[in-house]
Amino acid sequence: MPPAAVEVTALKPHSDSVVCCTFAPDVDLCCSGSNDNSLILWRVTDGWTCRLTGHTGWVTCCNFQPVGALLASGSADETLRLWDLYAVLTGDSSEVAGDECSVELKEYGGAIQACAFSQSGALLASASADSHVRVWSVETRTITSVRTPWRSLRRVWQRRADVGGRSCRYSAVTEGGCSAAPSHRRWRISSSRAAEMARSWCGTPKPHSA
């Protein structure tokens, strides 16, 4: 049997349920999102925390940029936010950071359910309860692609505000991606424009060894 997990530390900075958490890829930081409409950035080794405020609805997802100094968060308030971690860590207040450290991305008709950066950090994908997957350019803060992978079930989902695109991921091996809602869909990219986006997202796919 595998060894039992051992709790290293525990923090309870939120006033409501914690619904998401993620580790930064190369620094000792963790972020959690909560139904109290805030995120908590915390350093595991010494317990330092900073509350990120700005969302007006439950925080549903959060994700660190693999390369760079950004944190993305999605919310039931139908917005994505990009947080400047450098501004947060070097700001005047070490306990709370708000609008001055983030950029709000709007173009949604439903709660954000999931968000994910490309491996290069240049693109940000999001899935929302309006049954759309949107891909943003991090540099220009503009949408580069919109997909509706669940068109046939859209009428059903419009009757249920709690159901929609729940997650999205991009393949680092093949030029495709996947999304999940009540059904799981995998997508193969065939057009030259889409393939170019795939390479920007994941890098050139490596062939499988024999």
Q: Where are the domains of the chain?
A: 15-106, 110-205
- What pLDDT was estimated at residue 80? 95
**Exposed, middle or buried by CB within 10 Å (0-12, 13-18, 19+), for 97?**
buried
Q: What are phi and psi of 84, to 5 degrees?
A: -85, 100
**pLDDT averaged per 10 residues, the chain (length 210):** 72 85 89 93 85 94 93 95 91 77 90 92 92 92 80 36 45 42 44 47 45
- What pLDDT was estimated at residue 168? 53
* Nearest partner of 157 among 147, 167, 166, 170, judged by Cα: 166
Looking at the DSSP bridge assignments, the partners of residue 63 are 72
- What pLDDT was estimated at residue 116? 93
- What pLDDT was estimated at residue 174? 39
| pTM of the predicted model as reported, rounded to 2 decimal places | 0.70
Distance CA 43, CA 114 (A): 23
Distance CA 109, CA 168 (A): 17
- What pLDDT was estimated at residue 92? 66
Which H or E run includes 193? Answer: helix 192-202
Check: CATH 2.40.10 for 15-106?
yes
- What pLDDT was estimated at residue 181? 42
